[in-house]
Amino acid sequence: MALVGAGPGDPGLLTVRGLELLRRAEVVVYDRLVNPILLDEAPPEALRVFAGKLAGSHYLPQAEIHALLIAHARRGRRVVRLKGGDPFVFGRGGEEAAALAAAGIPFEVVPGVSSAIAVPAYAGIPVTHRGLSSSFAVVTGHEDASKDGSAVDWARLASAVDTLVVLMGVRALPAIVASLLAHGRSPDTPVALIRWGTTAEQETVTGVLADIVARARAAGLEPPVVAVIGEVVRLRDRLRWFEGASADLPPVSMRELLEREAGVLG
């Protein structure tokens, strides 16, 4: 049983270990944000189970996902739980690992490239940069609705770190911006909102805290969106490399990517 991070969308960002396990899998339980091209890497006879989620709409409740993983693993099947990004970065991978441990199921965790760093990079935004940012924090904008209030201390975050990366936060953006402004972050702080980062559909909306909510509404941004807040956003105009350059490239499978690489190296 393996919890495998699929990366943020670009199939080329799957790790070598993740690909090895995927190619041997008998059961693949995958999320909505997993690039469907990766499913082609599993054996043709492997069972593929969609366990995707949208805000307020879960195809499979989390408890059923736990039960599904445990049931297949107990039958001796090679199970890959394929999760977008990294399993342990706001992916509920910790909960799934805990459920497996409680059931006595041996498992391994294969870290994935997190959207928290990859998506800004594909938008030409380094989360740290000498002279601009020596610290960054990653927070979720989509918290457990059953909690009383927010567990994110926006009052401290407003001034504690140079760069804020907010995952799953586009719908909570007005409240997040209001909290940051109320606790001292400058209205002129640059902001970038990156949708479908690392894929051919990537689009980026930029602005400042004072106007980013209006810009997001005008652009009609919907999840998945990664928000980057901080002075490093100003580097985007010089460092953007992916958008436009990749827009006309057709999607390719991991097998094609690896064969091309082997041909170059060989």
pLDDT at 251: 45
CB neighbour burial string for 204-216, b if at least 16 within 10 angstroms, e if fewer:
bbbbbbeebbeeb
Q: Which CATH number fits the domain that encloses residue 235?
A: 3.30.950.10
The verdict on 104 and 176 lying in the same domain is no
The verdict on 128 and 101 lying in the same domain is no
Given a cut of 70, is residue 172 above it in pLDDT?
yes
Q: What is the CA radius of gyration of the chain?
A: 19
> 155, 139, 42, 131: which is closest to 90 by C-alpha?
139
The verdict on 124 and 235 lying in the same domain is yes
Q: Which CATH number fits the domain that encloses residue 39?
A: 3.40.1010.10
Catalytically active residues, by annotation: 31, 53, 168
The verdict on 108 and 122 lying in the same domain is no
Q: How far is CA 244 from the centre of its chain?
A: 21
The verdict on 89 and 133 lying in the same domain is no
Given a cut of 90, is residue 60 above it in pLDDT?
no
Which pLDDT band, with edges at 50, 70 and 90, does 54 fall under?
Answer: low
Domain count, the chain: 2
Q: Model pTM?
A: 0.86
Q: Identity (one letter) of the amino acid at 69? A: L
Strand 108-110 versus strand 203-208 pairing type: unpaired
The verdict on 192 and 149 lying in the same domain is yes
Domain extent, residue 102, equals: 2-113
The verdict on 61 and 80 lying in the same domain is yes
Sequence-distant (≥ 6) Cβ neighbours of residue 20 within 8 angstroms: none
Distance from C-alpha of 133 to C-alpha of 232, rounded to nearest angstrom: 7
